[in-house]
A and B are shown apart, each in its own frame.
Chain A
């Protein structure tokens, strides 16, 4: 298969690392090579977080070159914009319509950016902006926002659904498995192709 480059963006503490772990296990389930890269430490405390996941026959660089990202998954609305340069023309963006005001906005000094869908539209990127956290709350836990987004993402990848189930099973605690599988299915329903 052709290498698929996935960018996951959001804010520290939103469950980005777990989502990228599931994708890494998904690659293993499908006997493919995978690299993922993210940064921990100081940047974690409420800072912008990004994880690059690359799945294919043989992966060299852990970083995705600019303009080569196939799909951007953003856990937070404006954080999607931070990585727009990395998404290829004709790529896809799956964005959680959920706002976490950055400090400047919270202080009333800066404005939260608007017109995000249009900016992706200008790049010929297919954008899906959904209120994913609301869906997660409806399922009983806002923390499964990431796995609903995974369900949405699965509609744009070619892997068997069963391999997602196995990858989720490997990555979450047993007591949360059922909830996460439900979240995955909810995500699949949110995308109509």
Chain B
């Protein structure tokens, strides 16, 4: 048992702690920034009392947690905002079936899209599914609200949503630790609940009124629950706010009056009316959509919101202050815009030794149109790799490919390929592959098999052969999988042999049918890479480098250009002028040789060992 005391925790760590303190027994998630550390913390710190897993996707995670809850276990699922789209199907019907053990669903939204493809506002899901949503403003609340969510879930027989945003998920603040309670509920398969849990139309029709009645009770709860509170200050200005926006408004106007909403949905109408009647000027401060503003306006209350606050990006104390004081309305609220604008940028870039590099270099060189997907490899979009032309959502690369393959004329079709990572393939690509094979698609898909869920921090998956709890399991073999789906043409490449990549692409392009290329090489950040693949750093032979810059097109952070007029010597021994040469950083080069294979002059070499 952990000692009581205070610790500085991130919102994610605090949610994990809250689950532990409440006797949670089952936790499942698919990694996704900014939610990933919730399950990592549970597995690492509380794995003795909570079963934790990386599920294949968010729908699988939520349905599994629902099963654990039906059996009587307190259960938690966590996902990034777009993950809840994947899990939306069970989410919409679980409020009908209800639960047994408390069921808490964490959605980590990402205003400003620090690491996401959109900035959807998942408060809408609470309204859509007609279930309560709690929204903490710091780590202490993240822990307390998680505990509260389990109790509310059981009291009202409903799943409960917790919404965080990046600044809460990844923000650190002081948390007071408490002892965990032991699970109380009997774990068994409850046959007596069949009517409540089997959503045939005849049963579901009986459950919908239950959902509506529960929502009315939750509205009543919202009036009295202590996490909705009024902090009276000056009555000149009143703010209705919550989440991290509360902190920004409080920072900007410490003396104003506040109605802090700990419960984002449903709203406490009487409390809001009372607050509104006592302040002279009323503002709603919320990031993204006017979710509360619309609800409050429907109550017939006059309030200022999105006419002065931005709908896009994050808020901060400056934006809130300037909007209220001067009506200064930026289009987007983002930190980025206030950084010094004229500096060279640092876009994220594939790591030294990354197995994806050789594939994107060849895709660019061979001028393919690439339907892409979500992962580190989305960075293949950036110059000079410039080899990604679509990215929509998890798994869409294969759907995009399939649609294009079906309608494009043959010549055009042959220059289109779909690229997907191993984890994304298992999350949402496998069904596409079966669909393509079944529907006799002619085209090429490439699985970038680096044996891990890399972008979110090298989480394990079925390609790794280890579970989140650290148990050995099988390693998935994509070749057998594709064969069993009926794919006839499967090629495996070696990620550090650019020739094998080039040959595979040519062969697939010329094959009259569906080709699957499995691009193999472990992520350069994995221990396996360091053990079996890492070599000594390479160097550029200063005599042989012509300064042609071709190697810079592999886009490796270890390579850099030195502008310095001089001479180089070709293979025949002739001297030529050059404008500069390339050097290799000896601290981070992994010796993967991809740049060396791109060099037409064999100027990139392993240094001779001096014994």
List 23 A-B residue pairs with CB atoms under 8 Å apart, sorted by A's residue number. A11-B346, A24-B8, A28-B6, A33-B173, A35-B173, A40-B34, A41-B34, A41-B114, A42-B115, A45-B351, A45-B376, A45-B379, A46-B346, A47-B349, A48-B346, A78-B343, A78-B344, A81-B340, A86-B338, A103-B555, A105-B560, A107-B549, A107-B561
Q: Is the Cβ of A61 less than 8 Å from the Cβ of B344?
A: no
Least CB distance, B85 to chain A, in whole angstroms: 18
Q: Is the Cβ of B335 less than 8 Å from the Cβ of A106?
A: no
Closest 5 CB pairs of A and B: A41-B115, A41-B33, A108-B561, A61-B251, A106-B560
Known: A35-B173, A37-B170, A86-B338. 5 other contacts (CB 8 A): A21-B172, A28-B8, A36-B172, A43-B348, A78-B344
**Chain B hits for A37, CB < 8 A:** 167, 170-172
Within 8 A of B (CB), among A46-88: 46-48, 59-63, 65-66, 78, 81-86
Within 8 A of A (CB), among B316-353: 316-318, 321, 335, 338-340, 343-351
Q: Is the Cβ of B8 less than 8 Å from the Cβ of A113?
A: no
Closest to B110 in A: A41
Closest to A62 in B: B171
> With contacts defined as CB atoms under 8 Å apart, how many contacts are there between chain A and chain B in the complex?
152
* A101 located at the interface, meaning its Cβ lies under 8 Å from any Cβ of chain B in the complex: yes
Closest to B457 in A: A40
Bound CA span A61–B443, Å:
52
Bound CA span A124–B114, Å:
32
**Chain A hits for B316, CB < 8 A:** 61, 63, 65
* B384 located at the interface, meaning its Cβ lies under 8 Å from any Cβ of chain A in the complex: yes
Least CB distance, B202 to chain A, in whole angstroms: 46
**Chain A hits for B580, CB < 8 A:** 108
Least CB distance, B292 to chain A, in whole angstroms: 19
Q: Is the Cβ of B33 less than 8 Å from the Cβ of A47?
A: no
Secondary structure at chain A's binding surface: helix, strand, loop or mixed? mixed
**Chain B hits for A84, CB < 8 A:** 340
* B559 located at the interface, meaning its Cβ lies under 8 Å from any Cβ of chain A in the complex: yes
Bound CA span A33–B552, Å:
47
**Chain B hits for A82, CB < 8 A:** 339-340, 343
Bound CA span A61–B376, Å:
31
* A178 located at the interface, meaning its Cβ lies under 8 Å from any Cβ of chain B in the complex: no
**Chain B hits for A107, CB < 8 A:** 384, 549, 552, 561
Within 8 A of A (CB), among B553-573: 555, 557, 559-561, 563
Bound CA span A12–B6, Å:
29
Q: Is the Cβ of A34 less than 8 Å from the Cβ of B348?
A: no
Interface stretch, picked from B146-154, B219-227, B242-250, B283-291, is B242-250
Q: Is the Cβ of A35 less than 8 Å from the Cβ of B172?
A: yes
B interface with A by C-beta (< 8 Å): 6-8, 33-34, 114-115, 138, 166-167, 170-174, 244, 247-248, 250-251, 254, 316-318, 321, 335, 338-340, 343-351, 376, 379, 384, 455-457, 549, 552, 555, 557, 559-561, 563, 580, 587
Q: Which of B6, B8, B549 contacts A108 (CB 8 A)?
A: B549
Q: Is the Cβ of A27 less than 8 Å from the Cβ of B339?
A: no
* A115 located at the interface, meaning its Cβ lies under 8 Å from any Cβ of chain B in the complex: no
**Chain A hits for B350, CB < 8 A:** 45
Bound CA span A113–B197, Å:
64
Bound CA span A78–B346, Å:
11
Least CB distance, A90 to chain B, in whole angstroms: 19
Q: Which of A21, A35, A46, A105 contacts B348 (CB 8 A)?
A: A46
* A44 located at the interface, meaning its Cβ lies under 8 Å from any Cβ of chain B in the complex: yes
- The verdict on A46 contacting B351 (CB below 8 Å), with A61-B316, A81-B343 known, is yes
Q: Is the Cβ of B174 less than 8 Å from the Cβ of A61?
A: no
